[in-house]
Structure formats: C-alpha cells, structure tokens
Amino acid sequence: MKTVIITGATGQDGSYMAEYLRDKGYRVIGAVRDVKKSEKLLPKILKNKIELVEWNMQDQQLMIKVLHCYRPDEIYNFAAYSSGAGMFDDPTVIGDVNGLAVTRILEAIRVVDPNIRFCQASSSELFGEAAEAPQSETTVFSPRSPYGAAKLYAHSMINIYRKSYGLFACSAILYNHESPRRGLEFVTRKVTHEVAKIKLGMSATLSLGNLEACRDWGFAGDYVLAMWKMLQMPKADDYVIASGKAHSVRELCEMAFEHVDLNYKDYVREDVNVFRPTESFQLVGDASKAEKYLNWVPKIGFREIIGIMIDADLLLLQEKK
C-alpha cells in the first residue's frame, strides 16, 4: 500500500485527489491546519475514510516531523492562499504561503527522504501578461499579480531542487478548473450558485465584473488525474494542464442560465467596481505535452461542467430550505 500526503485536503483539488487515491488503495493522509475543523469540512464521501494530521505551511520542523512519521511515497501540495478575487489580497502572506512554503516542503523532503515524489499545484497565472497564446511549457513567464509571482517562485525552486538535489519534483501548471466543490469566491461557482438561487426564487439579480474576461476552464476531477499521472512517470517534469479552449464570463452566464431555461440578459448586471486591478491577457493552455507523454486529455467539457455545478447547487439549496 502506498502512502500519500495531500495538503489542503478539504479543498476542491485536495478532496478530489484524496477520493481518487483512496479508491486506488492508497493510505491517504490529509495535511490540514486544524484537524477538528477539517473533519467537518470534508465532503461526505471522505468522512472517516482518510486520516488527518496537523500541518502548517510556515512551520518547516512540523513538516519534517510529519514526513518522518508517515513516510509518504507521494506528496501533492494544494494548500495555498486563494486565487480568484483574492490574488491581490495581502501580498506578503501570499508570498509566504504560496511561494516560500513550497521550499519548506522541498527541504523537508530532502532531509527526510529524497525518494518522496512531489507535485506542486501551480497556475496559469505564471504567464500573466502572456507573450503568446496558447501558452505551453516553453512560454516566457510574466506574472501580473502577487499570486502569480509567488507561484513562479515556487515553480523556480522546484526546478532548482530537481536539478541540484535530484528530487522527483514536478509543477502542474493548472489552468482554471471547476466543480461543485469550488469555493463561492470563484466566478464559476458564484454564477452557478446564484443561478440556482434565481431559479428557486431566492434571488433576483447576479452582479459580476468584466463579462468579456476569458478563461480556459476544465473539470477538477480530470486535472487531479493528470497530476497523479505526473508522479507515475519515470522522470520528473512540468506540464501544462488545460482544456485548450477559452470561454468568456458572458458565455459562462449564457450557458448557466440556459441550463435552467432562463435568459442571462434578464438577470446579469456588470459592475465596474469589482473589475480586477489588472486583467490577465488571453490565458489558454496548450496541453499537447501532457497528451503525448501522460496520455491525458480532459474528458468533461465546459457546458457539462456548468450543468453539473448548477444541479449540485440546486440540490444543496433545496436541502437547506
């Protein structure tokens, strides 16, 4: 039986990875800030099915202690200060948790067992002001937010530890990926949740920022599979994980309201006060390397993702009534 440590195990990506690896027969250790609180936050399907252990992204000695205790074969790092609307909030904390903390994990691996395989959930925000579209592993990095800059630092340190110390460490350069487990601070979930409320007569309008902003959106369940495949390869490497298709927030709204037989124009209001300080250039990923070497392609399309999320939100809201 392999053992895996998953940081951020209660979040979207962490919970999907925990579910996937538990089904594959792994011993799954969820590394979390507060064990008691996290027990309540786990999806029902994972409750009492994985082990939780205290973890602090700013405490390297605790990391070393946990690795010594559990001796994992693999580590997936999903613990991070939120992206979405929070990319400019508290830049110093973002820099520490999303950047420097990854070096702490790499150091802990180097000290305890250099054979531990490590995957970092990186971000398309590395590219920021992209020089080309679509972006691939060879595209020049140019982050435009504290979040993107912190992720770039982590990405750079992974390459340094891989080359200098021989660690099996990888960066998954993830484009936006969604699911019913997405937080409400992200535009996709905000839209699907509000559409469900409007359909149920619990809300009347949906206020959003720039409707022309475009993103490359995929399904979180597909993307965690790609990351697992990365750690099964004979050689560590970095991969862009993306759908390769960009959609605007306007398209998101149109599809979401169509799913419940409504017209988005009757409900959506654009609010210039919530536009991001800087809007990313066209971020759309070229995942051809992942397709070639990992035999990975996304299985669930954007319209289907939105439908799944709305149906889940309708059920969630009806249960609360």
Examine residue 294 and state whether it is found in any structural domain, yes or no: no
Examine residue 97 and state whether it is found in any structural domain, yes or no: yes
Domain count, the chain: 2
Q: How far apart are CA 92 and CA 178, in angstroms?
A: 27
pLDDT for residue 280:
52
Catalytic residue among 15, 38, 123, 179: 123
CATH code of the domain in which 257 resides: 3.90.25.10
Catalytic residue among 16, 76, 81, 147: 147
pTM (whole model) above 0.85:
yes
Q: In which band, very low, low, confident or very high, does the pLDDT at 97 lie, cut at 50, 70 and 90?
A: very high
Examine residue 290 and state whether it is found in any structural domain, yes or no: no
Q: Using only the alpha carbons of the chain, give its radius of gyration.
A: 19
Q: Specify whether 123 is catalytic.
A: yes
For residue 206, the enclosing domain spans 183-216+245-283+300-320
210 within 8 A of 275, measured Cβ to Cβ: yes
pLDDT for residue 273:
67
* Side-chain-facing half-sphere of 129: CA atoms under 13 Å: 6
Evaluate if residue 42 carries a pLDDT over 80.
Answer: yes
163 and 16 belong to one structural domain: yes
Catalytic residue among 16, 26, 122, 125: 125
The residue among 140, 121, 122, 120 whose CA lies nearest residue 130 is 140
Q: How far apart are CA 24 and CA 20, in angstroms?
A: 6
Per cent of the chain over pLDDT 90 is 89
145 and 207 belong to one structural domain: no
222 within 8 A of 180, measured Cβ to Cβ: no
30 and 146 belong to one structural domain: yes
Q: Which pairing describes strands 239-241 and 168-174: parallel, antiparallel, or unpaired?
A: parallel
Q: Which residues pair with 54 in a beta bridge?
A: 32
DSSP-assigned letters across all residues of 202-241: S-S-EEES-TT-EEE-EEHHHHHHHHHHHHTSSS---EEE
Q: Specify whether 132 is catalytic.
A: no
Q: Specify whether 125 is catalytic.
A: yes
Evaluate if residue 87 carries a pLDDT over 90.
Answer: no
User: Counting beta carbons within 10 angstroms of the beta carbon of residue 292, is it exposed (0 to 12), middle (13 to 18) or buried (19 or more)?
Assistant: exposed
85 and 63 belong to one structural domain: yes
Examine residue 288 and state whether it is found in any structural domain, yes or no: no
